[in-house]
């Protein structure tokens, strides 16, 4: 690959990420509240559109769970609550809480361009959230680092994956 084609490939990658960031801006975040602190989800894979959108909306694919690179510190057995956007349109919500280590971080060259987010390659095992879990959950995991992934399907809007990076302490 010569210098010209390398520059072209880099420009295409940058353009794809700009398009992805535009898609992320359209998907509303899930808000997690912990005590007085408010945390916004990092949006991962999504296919989202506004009702009546003639352009068909935007789609963004990530091969892993996406979170902020800064962990949210919680204590074991703390309760966190959620503000889920467009709740009246929510058809289903799944979640998983998965223990992670630095070995589970994807380390592609493109990831270095976005130091504020982490793409985790760890396999997760989502389960359907009950109505009460959509309101709040108790984090009873042993101390360690975890990813909380929430994936929902909204009638008339689409679907989206939301990630939180948690550090559970005693």
DSSP codes joined into one string, 107-170: --GGGGG-TTEEEE------EEPPHHHHHEEEE-PPSEEEEEEEEEEETTTEEEEEEEEEEEE-
Give the CATH number for residue 52.
Answer: 2.60.40.10
Which tops the pLDDT comparison, 14 or 107?
107
Instruction: Please report the pLDDT score of residue 107 as a whole number.
Output: 86
State which residues form the domain around 77: 3-169
Q: How confident is the model at residue 14 (pLDDT cuts 50, 70, 90)?
A: very low
Q: What is the pLDDT of residues 68-84, one digit of tens each?
A: 999 999 999 999 999 99
For the chain, the domain total comes to 1
Instruction: Please report the pLDDT score of residue 163 as a whole number.
Output: 97
133 and 127 Cβ atoms separated by less than 8 Å: no
Looking at the chain, the whole-number percentage of residues with pLDDT higher than 90 is 69
Hey, what long-range contacts does 47-56 have (CB within 8 A, 24 or more apart)? 47/158, 47/159, 47/160, 48/23, 48/157, 48/158, 48/159, 48/160, 49/157, 49/158, 50/26, 50/157, 51/156, 51/157
**Mean pLDDT of the 11-20 span:** 42
Q: What is the pLDDT of residues 52-64, one digit of tens each?
A: 776 767 788 888 8
Q: How many CB atoms lie within 10 A of CB 67?
A: 25
């Amino acid at each position: 690959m010569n210098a010209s084609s390398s520059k072209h490939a880099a420009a295409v990658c940058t353009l794809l990420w700009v398009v992805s960031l535009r898609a992320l801006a359209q998907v509303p975040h899930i808000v997690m509240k912990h005590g007085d602190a408010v945390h916004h989800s990092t949006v991962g894979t999504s296919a989202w559109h506004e009702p009546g959108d003639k352009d068909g909306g935007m789609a963004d694919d990530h091969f892993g769970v996406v979170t902020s690179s800064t962990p949210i510190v919680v204590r074991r057995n703390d309760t966190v609550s959620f503000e889920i956007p467009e709740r009246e349109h929510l058809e289903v919500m799944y979640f998983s809480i998965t223990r992670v280590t630095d070995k589970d971080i994807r380390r592609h060259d493109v990831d270095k361009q976005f130091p504020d987010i982490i793409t985790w390659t760890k396999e997760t095992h989502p389960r359907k959230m009950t109505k009460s879990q959509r309101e709040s959950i108790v984090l009873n995991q042993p101390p360690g680092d975890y990813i909380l992934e929430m994936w929902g399907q909204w009638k008339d809007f689409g679907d989206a994956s939301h990630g939180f990076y948690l550090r559970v302490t005693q």
